[in-house]
Structure 1
Amino acid sequence: MSLTELDGPRIEPASGGPAKQLVILLHGYGADGNDLIGLGRSWAPLLPDAAFVSPNAPNACAMSPMGREWFPLSFRDAEEYSRGVAEAKPILNGFIDSELKRYSLAEGSLALVGFSQGTMMSLAVGLSREKPPKAILGYSGALAESEFAADIGEKGPNILLIHGDMDQVIPVEALTMAREHLTALGLSVESHIAKGVGHGIDQEGLMLGGGFLKNALTPQTAS
């Protein structure tokens, strides 16, 4: 697959005008772009000038033939995660570049949103780009890559991590580990642990995510 062949469901700005922000939604293992595009429908009233796109991951999922994967999973350990995101990063970076060009936008108008494996990709790619996105929102994920530029804390994006405390797929401790590592790099990291929530997104997490994106992407006017 070439770097520009990723695609998936899209939502154009609710305002009907040209896009002023771009939100890229990265689904989890065994799903596809349709799994997360509904987030864009929920957040469109908050971000009426934003375009949303939820690309299908590049590979057919070995464990779920109807779904897609950013990289294979067998052992679900740190080494596999790190190797997987490293192999998938060029494809996602190429897609991000093409989407910014499509909408004539710069990285300061971009947000990456991920779920599970998509969160691993959002953090690994977003924090290693020469010009990082404005915001990264990660649900139920983990930090799969830990080596970033020394100055990432100075130019890095706003980050919000949300995780259910009953998650049996990726333990909630993954949020704590990611937050501690990223904060040590000087990055601004907010977090929320959803009580009684498993490997998914509840209504509170949806609302917190939308508010976070609105604050990050929408210019604030002085009162």
Structure 2
Amino acid sequence: MPTLPGPRLPPRSGRAPRQLVVLLHGFGADGNDLIDLAQVWQPLLPDAAFVAPHAPEPCIQGFGRQWFSLTFRDPHERWRGVNRAAPALDAFLDAELAAHGLSDRQLALVGFSQGCMMALHVSLRRARAPAAVVGLSGMLVLEEGKGPESLAPALRAVPPVLLAHGDQDEVIPVDALFLSGEALAAAGVPVEWHLSAGTGHGIDEGALHHAGLFLAEGFARAKGLERAGGAERAGGVERA
């Protein structure tokens, strides 16, 4: 049984899954808000299974779910939150991969807003790197009072990352895209970014298009590494 419930979509091909895409929703939403993204990307990923788990906690706003509480009054709440929520998400990923007989190289994470925070935090700390990570309208969470240099010692895996953000985002300002990208790059994480002009806290067609291509390329690259006999490791960190 999965550790977190949520909607699913099986591979379009009708075959057994060869990849798994996990969609992580934002604060006050649930998995139903993101599962429709699967239909957009299925033509590019016909052998991928999609799952959008509901976050473990009811949202403090009174509707939807949350990965962790956000009051916006405590500067440390994001850091404490991602660390507290990480074990449940890790357990979910392990259970899903085991159920499908897949490895982390056949896994991709896509997170929106608070789900982006979770996708980045967890993927960089798994024992093996996922094939790709897409962060939409979110940010990399660093410990309050510490700079980008604090990320490198925590890395266990280095997956390729795509960040996408609207330049009119009123919830998480677009500066988060550039600060997160700079921190990831400084830690040696390969990162690309897409800026959606005229877009607020949401996902436009351009971001969806780039994310789909990025996922397909990530899975193809990971498959090539698998055939070659492994992933590159540097300083004990796996690079997908």
Amino acid at match of 1:160: L
- 1:172-187 aligned at under 5 Å gives the runs 172-187=174-189
Distance 1:77 1:196, change over 3 A: farther
Partner of 1:140: 137
Deviates more, 1:7-16 or 1:78-87: 78-87
Distance 1:151 1:141, change over 3 A: closer
- CA offset digits 1:26-72 (Å, max 9, x no partner): 00000000000011111011100000000000011111x33000000
Amino acid at match of 1:109: Q
Partner of 1:10: 8
Distance 1:22 1:170, change over 3 A: same
1:218, CA displacement in angstroms?
2.6
* Residue 94 in structure 1 maps to residue 109 in structure 2: no
* Structure 1 Cα separation of the partners of residues 74 and 181 of structure 2: 18
- 1:147-186 aligned at under 5 Å gives the runs 147-148=150-151, 150=153, 152=155, 155-186=157-188
SS at match of 1:114: strand
* Structure 2 Cα separation of the partners of residues 126 and 72 of structure 1: 21
Are the equivalent residues in 2 in contact too, given 1:134–1:158 (CA < 8 A)?
Answer: yes
Are the equivalent residues in 2 in contact too, given 1:152–1:186 (CA < 8 A)?
Answer: no
* Structure 2 Cα separation of the partners of residues 149 and 20 of structure 1: 31
Are the equivalent residues in 1 in contact too, given 2:121–2:140 (CA < 8 A)?
Answer: yes
- CA offset digits 1:81-100 (Å, max 9, x no partner): 11110110000000000000
Q: CA RMSD in A?
A: 1.9
Partner of 2:228: none
Partner of 1:213: 215
Structure 1 vs Structure 2: percent identity of aligned residues?
A: 50
Distance 1:148 1:134, change over 3 A: farther
Are the equivalent residues in 1 in contact too, given 2:12–2:48 (CA < 8 A)?
Answer: yes
1:151, CA displacement in angstroms?
8.5
Amino acid at match of 2:105: G
Partner of 1:190: 192
**Structure 1 portions without partners, runs of 5+:** none
Are the equivalent residues in 1 in contact too, given 2:67–2:115 (CA < 8 A)?
Answer: yes
Q: Structure 2 length as normaliser, TM-score?
A: 0.86
1:150, CA displacement in angstroms?
4.0
* Residue 79 in structure 1 maps to residue 81 in structure 2: no
Amino acid at match of 2:160: N
* Structure 1 Cα separation of the partners of residues 189 and 3 of structure 2: 32
Please list every run of at least 4 consecutive aligned residues from structure 1 whose deviation after the TM superposition is greater than 2 angstroms.
145-153, 218-221
Distance 1:184 1:197, change over 3 A: same
1:132, CA displacement in angstroms?
2.3
* Structure 1 Cα separation of the partners of residues 118 and 163 of structure 2: 13
SS at match of 1:218: helix
Deviates more, 1:128-137 or 1:54-63: 128-137
- 1:34-45 aligned at under 5 Å gives the runs 34-45=32-43
Amino acid at match of 2:16: P
Partner of 2:115: 118
Amino acid at match of 1:169: V
Partner of 1:27: 25
**Structure 2 portions without partners, runs of 5+:** 144-149, 225-240
Q: Structure 1 length as normaliser, TM-score?
A: 0.92
- CA offset digits 1:87-114 (Å, max 9, x no partner): 1000000000000001100000100000
